[in-house]
Amino acid sequence: MDFSSVPMPSGVFAIGKKFAFEAGHRLPGLPPEHKCSRQHGHSYEVEVILTAPCLEQPGFVTDFAALSPFKTFLDTELDHRNLHEFLPVEPTSERLAQFLAGWFIQHLQPKIPGRLVAVVVRETGSSWVRFDVEEK
């Protein structure tokens, strides 16, 4: 079968990569009777989503291996920690997603092709947050 006649439509490419870490936290800004004001933990899943209008050789938005510094950061700085003791913000999933986007933009984005468009944080199998990065 000859596929040479299949058109290559124009558009924007997007990729995503998931990472995981374990951490505890409490949300001291909540009333004492709220269960999340007490110490508890999650098996967090974090997904970064990048986009690009064109591909780098050999046909990538960015090489998935180039995202390994983000995994290293999660493993060394957040894994098996009490997030409320380390993060500069109240460690809700919303703020965690925003913080991780900021870290990614500051430390990784200048070194790789593609642009971070969103960070998704899942704290349970049925609960997630997505932080969309505004394009400048």
pLDDT digits (tens, 9 = 90+) for 38-75: 999 999 999 999 999 999 999 999 999 999 999 999 99
Q: Is 5 among the domain residues?
A: no
Active-site residues, by number, are: 36, 80, 123
Q: Is 1 among the domain residues?
A: no
Q: Name the pLDDT band for 19 (thresholds 50, 70, 90).
A: very high
Q: Is 79 among the domain residues?
A: yes
3-state secondary structure (DSSP) of residue 29 = coil
pLDDT at residue 31 in the model: 93
The domain that contains 108 carries what CATH number? 3.30.479.10
Instruction: Tell me the residue range of the domain where 128 lies.
Output: 13-132
* Cα distance between residue 87 and residue 103, in whole Å: 12
Q: Is 110 among the domain residues?
A: yes
Is 136's pLDDT higher than 80? no
Q: Is 6 among the domain residues?
A: no
pLDDT at residue 44 in the model: 98
Is 133's pLDDT higher than 90? yes
* Cα distance between residue 29 and residue 23, in whole Å: 18
Handedness of CA 127, 130, 119, 27 (dihedral sign): negative
Is 1's pLDDT higher than 90? no
Q: Is 23 among the domain residues?
A: yes
pLDDT one-digit tens code per residue, 69-116: 999 999 999 999 999 999 999 999 999 999 999 999 999 999 999 999
**How many domains are contained in the chain?**
1
Is 28's pLDDT higher than 90? no
User: First and final CA of the chain: distance in angstroms?
Assistant: 45
Q: Is 93 among the domain residues?
A: yes
pLDDT one-digit tens code per residue, 118-131: 999 999 999 999 99
Q: Is 48 among the domain residues?
A: yes
pLDDT at residue 122 in the model: 98
